[in-house]
Amino acid sequence: MRLYDGGRAPNPRRVRIFLAEKGMQVPVEHIDLASLQHKSAEFTALNPLQRVPVLVLDDGTVITESIAICRYFEGLRPEPLLFGRGATEEALVEMWNRRVELNLYQAVSAVFRHLHPAMKDMESQVPEWGEACRKHALARMSWLDGELARRPYVAGDRFTIADITALVGIDWGRVTKTRIPPECTNLLRWHELVSGRPSARA
């Protein structure tokens, strides 16, 4: 198989952290987003949505979407479990991954897309929406801070895919100065905990 990575972009990092947690190594081809390689005809043939990461299996099957790629690796190597096991646990991990992705990660993403100068030529920016999303992102950090008063990790007592999504989303916020508010002591404690894992350097 071959993983088409995108360097410092957040979604490829989700997959790299996941692989590091699994202790897996996969042949990687680097896609240079700065030179718009993801918009080339060759890459568009792999993913018409022109986004990284992309995983191509040996039989030619193409898997896009970070979480789908992670789920494939979970199927290949279940331990350590990062999506949970059994109906209830799998549902709760899905719930927490979605809660942090749809509420926090996507808000941070929108701040970047709608306010960062690097995205000016690539997207139809709506700065008013970017500013609203910055408020949403900070409000959701406060909400997550309250949740993390009750347990060590986002979805419970163990590190899961939901922690990876939250970590990558929060670190992405640095680019637009959308940072964890200092009063969010539980979230800061969690951030230090998960940032200390070797996988966080991926």
Site of interaction with a copy of itself (CB under 8 A): 48-49, 57, 61, 63-65, 67-69, 71-72, 74-76, 86-88, 90-92, 94-95, 98-99, 102-103, 124, 126, 128-129, 132, 143, 146
CB of 127 to a copy of itself, least distance (A): 10
Q: Give 44 or 195: the residue with its C-beta nearer to a copy of itself.
A: 44
Q: Minimum distance from CB of 84 to a copy of itself (Å)?
A: 10
Contact 69, 63 (CB under 8 A): yes
> In whole angstroms, how close is the CB of 159 to a copy of itself at the nearest point?
19
CB nearer to a copy of itself: give 67 or 200.
Answer: 67
The span from the CA of 174 to the CA of 81, in Å, is: 29
- DSSP conformation class of 160: -
For the chain, the distance separating the N- and C-terminal CA atoms, rounded to the nearest angstrom, is 19
Q: Which of 36, 57 has the CB closer to a copy of itself?
A: 57
Q: Which is nearer to a copy of itself, 36 or 102 (CB)?
A: 102
- Contacts of 67-70 with CB under 8 Å at 24 or more apart are 67/14, 67/97, 67/101, 67/161, 67/165, 69/3, 69/15, 69/18, 70/14, 70/15, 70/18, 70/161, 70/164
Query: Shortest approach of a copy of itself to residue 195 CB, angstroms?
Result: 26
- As a whole number of angstroms, the distance between CA 140 and CA 100 comes to 8
Tokens of 105: 């990660």
Task: CB nearer to a copy of itself: give 35 or 124.
Answer: 124
Contacts of 23 (CB under 8 A, 6+ apart): 77
Please state the closest distance from residue 26 (CB atom) to a copy of itself, in A. 14
